[in-house]
A = this chain, B = another copy of it.
Amino acid sequence: MSITVVGSIAYDAVKTPFGERERMLGGAAVHFALAASFFAEVRVVGPVGDDFGEAELDVLRSRGVNISDIERVAGGKTFFWRGEYGWDLNSRETLDTQLGVFEGFQPKLSATSRSSDVLFLANIQPDLQREVRTQLPGARFVALDSMNLWIDIARDSLVQAIESVDCVILNDSELRQLTGKPNLLAAAQEILSWAPADEERPGVGGPQVIVAKQGEYGAALVTRDGFFALPAYPLETVIDPTGAGDTFAGGMMGYLARRGRVTSATLRRGMAYGTVLASFNVEDFGVRRVASLTRPRVEARLREFRKILKF
């Protein structure tokens, strides 16, 4: 099974209590793709500038990621983000964002990327998410991420985007902000009640699966008939949380793409894989840890995680 992800491919400059790095490979689509690559063929769609290096592309290539739809914009500059984390790594400040080639980005998907069974719309402008969604009408499982900015300035478009997907993966604070409901279950139930107004799209039923990302506390899953939650994998040292949420989504969606069926059991196991992948991601700066990871190490940590959670 294959999976297409549309989102940012970036250079990140990050400062944490453990050090700082300039111009690391980053971006939601990159973190997602590396994590998902342990389970399925991944196709990445997104723009980069002239400044984007072959070494960075090689990181993706070495994990078998299909990069044919990474569009190099002549004369453009790659998306750049600079952020700094506070003492406890739970708060972070964005110091600089340079959209570069993301300004005016029009996603062009090849036939290959359009043929994927699974689609992940990483956090980009909701209009673009909807545009890409229409290019994969036959995708069997579609999820999206978003952020507080779009809830603030493009809520209507975001709601329409959500109505067009099967799964919403948001930070729990964003779920609350989006719905105005402080209780996580109530917020999720609210979104599960959203369905597209367009009666002529009988196949599209609106979101069925809500995933709340809770940072160091883990993640929770809400469907119409169930709830599931996992703590984060315990780590004594966290170096750089950047990309943890996208890595989680990549592990989860990659596993779902591999299994081919979305059931309560595969969703739960997918979340466990996502949690494990995210725990590797935060152990080093940028994508270093996940890019050099092996599947046996992923499996070993999943077994360890199961033991930890038993009672």
A: residues with CB less than 8 A from B are: 17, 87-89, 176, 182-186, 189, 214, 216-218, 220, 222, 226-231, 234-238, 265, 268-269, 271-272, 308-311
Contacts and interface: CB of A to CB of B under 8 A. Distances in A.
4 pairs of A and B residues whose beta carbons are closest in the complex? A229-B231, A88-B182, A268-B311, A217-B217
B236 A189 contact: yes
Most buried by B among A218, A222, A236, A265: A236
B309 A216 contact: no
A231 B228 CA distance: 9
Given A217-B217, A218-B217, A234 B185 contact: yes
B217 A272 contact: no
Give the residue among A88, A89, A227, A235 with the most B Cβ atoms within 10 A: A227
A303 to B, nearest CB: 13
Task: Give the interface centre of A17, A183, A271 by most chain B CB atoms within 10 Å.
Answer: A183
A229 B234 CA distance: 9
B238 A183 contact: yes
A17 B181 CA distance: 12
A237 B186 contact: yes
A216 B189 CA distance: 17
A88 B182 CA distance: 5
Contacts of A88: 176, 182-183
B238 A231 contact: no
A228 B185 contact: no
Given A183-B238, A230-B231, A309-B309, 7 more contacts: A89-B182, A185-B236, A189-B236, A217-B217, A218-B229, A229-B231, A229-B234
A311 B229 contact: no
Given A217-B217, A217-B218, A308 B227 contact: yes
Given A217-B217, A271-B311, A311-B271, A231 B231 contact: yes
Contact of A308 (B17, B184, B229, B272): B229
A218 to B, nearest CB: 7
Contacts of A310: 268
Nearest to A238: B183
A226 to B, nearest CB: 8
A272 to B, nearest CB: 5
Given A176-B88, A182-B89, A228 B311 contact: yes
15 contacts: A17-B182, A87-B182, A183-B236, A184-B216, A185-B236, A186-B237, A189-B236, A214-B217, A220-B231, A227-B308, A228-B308, A229-B309, A230-B311, A271-B311, A272-B311
A56 B251 CA distance: 53
Nearest to A227: B234
B235 A309 contact: no
B237 A183 contact: yes
A214 B269 CA distance: 24
Nearest to A273: B311
Contacts of A309: 228-229, 309
